[in-house]
Structure 1
Amino acid sequence: MKQPLGVILAGGQATRMGGGDKGLLTLGGRTLLSHVVERLTPQVAELALNANGDAARFDALDLPVLPDSIDGFVGPLAGVLAGMDWAAERGADTIVTAAADTPFFPGDLVPQLLLASEGMTNPLVLAATPDAKRGTARHPTFGLWPVALRDDLRDALNGGLRKVVMWTQQHGGREALFPHEAAFFNVNTPDDLKTAEDML
């Protein structure tokens, strides 16, 4: 399989941070997004950013900015679809997504997702970590997605589907288990940002 293209999902509204772009908050003197770009770049063939509104605010990253093609902030699946459409134009088979507010995700994210997808006609895998209450916790903004299912996803979104796991289960999606519970720690609140500074 060809190396996937990477798409950073930054299309959310960051309501718990008071709005704005969480990815542009600073951690250790650099933006959260720059930490994510640094981790994902070596793992993918090309990289783009899914974000809505004025793309100029991300000029410093020098990345293509892909807005949602489905209106109304319908969640991360709209960003996945934007990434799939971009990848299709480039002749790619798969994309890997990562969230803009999760600076410490694993350096072997892509290899582990690809390993879990072996034998699948349409490679569809979400990252997961151990969870004391539920056994495993899925991280639906971190996944491997097949470009071949983009029209199916578009139809599902236009039909009102919003839940990532509902759609992945319809297509026999798998999980790639990462051993550390905090591997996908994300910054949702000002307190989380303080915790991330300590983790850094």
Structure 2
Amino acid sequence: MGTVSTTDQMPITGVILAGGRGSRMGGDDKGLIIWQNQPLYQHVLQRLQPQVTTVWINANRNIEVYQQSGLPVISDTLADFLGPLAGMLSALQQTETEWVAFTSCDTPQLPDNLIHHLWQYKGDALAVWARTEERDHPTLALLHRSLATTLQQYLARGDRKLMSFLEQSGGHSVLFAQSEAAFRNFNRPEDLI
């Protein structure tokens, strides 16, 4: 597949990962926590939607609440809240597009050029993820759907580490010049202040 200068020429499904237990948030569904007068996932949606062809939400509880957005809601095909990789697997198995962009539901200020920048610097890799000067952000990733089988096997072995899977898939990070604030995610109640 040749390099495309803009994602406008390639359909991409965007998936907001909201399928976790929220254990560091006291068990609350992080995507539905209110921040600046709206649920966190709505902030993510507003930033992601203009960057992709369609948006899905990956959720394992409060599904009817997420469905009120009018977006397709997909659940993990594997039980027991196995982490972001389980949500990624469900999306890769169900998508009709070649590429799927993933974001966490708790990164409300993600860059408005996230997907374009990942696409621009992916090269021949089947997986790329965002990185800032401070650290990697593997849940902000672009994956080719052909990784579904490899990911299913990885999870079947009991592996759960997202970074390890991305690296084993021949992926690489893409550096973003934005400040760390654009990638800030909310893991604990005190982060919302």
What TM-score do the two structures reach when normalised by structure 1? 0.88
Post-superposition Cα deviations, 1:16-68, rounded to whole Å, max 9, x if no partner, equal: 21112111111221111111110000000111001103411213211111111
CA apart distance, 1:94: 0.7
Structure 1 residue 99 corresponds to structure 2 residue 104: yes
Post-superposition Cα deviations, 1:147-200, rounded to whole Å, max 9, x if no partner, equal: 011011111101111001111111211111112222210111121111xxxxxx
Structure 1 residue 15 corresponds to structure 2 residue 28: no
CA distance in 2, matches of 1:70, 1:105: 28
Q: Which amino acid aligns with 1:86?
A: Q
Structure 1 residue 150 corresponds to structure 2 residue 148: yes
Which runs of 4 or more aligned residues in structure 1 lie more than 3 Å from their structure 2 counterparts after TM superposition? none
1:5 and 1:45 in contact (8 A); partners too: yes
What TM-score do the two structures reach when normalised by structure 2? 0.91
Paired residue for 1:69? Answer: 77
Structure 1 residue 127 corresponds to structure 2 residue 130: yes
Q: What SS does structure 2 have at the residue aligned with 1:183? A: helix
Note the 1:42-57 alignment, pairs <5 A.
Answer: 42-57=50-65
The number of aligned residues is 184
CA distance in 1, matches of 2:11, 2:73: 20
Pick aligned residue for 1:33 from 22, 38, 41: 41
RMSD, matched Cα = 1.2
Q: Which amino acid aligns with 1:125?
A: V
Q: Which amino acid aligns with 2:188?
A: T
Structure 2 residue runs of 5 or longer lacking an equivalent are 5-9
CA distance in 2, matches of 1:114, 1:154: 24
CA distance in 2, matches of 1:104, 1:53: 24
2:126 and 2:170 in contact (8 A); partners too: no
Structure 1 residue 190 corresponds to structure 2 residue 189: yes
Paired residue for 2:118? Answer: 113
Paired residue for 2:163? Answer: 165
CA apart distance, 1:117: 0.8
CA distance in 2, matches of 1:3, 1:108: 16
CA distance in 1, matches of 2:31, 2:56: 14
CA distance in 2, matches of 1:39, 1:82: 22
Structure 1 residue runs of 5 or longer lacking an equivalent are 132-136, 195-200
CA distance in 1, matches of 2:186, 2:99: 27
Percent identity reads 38
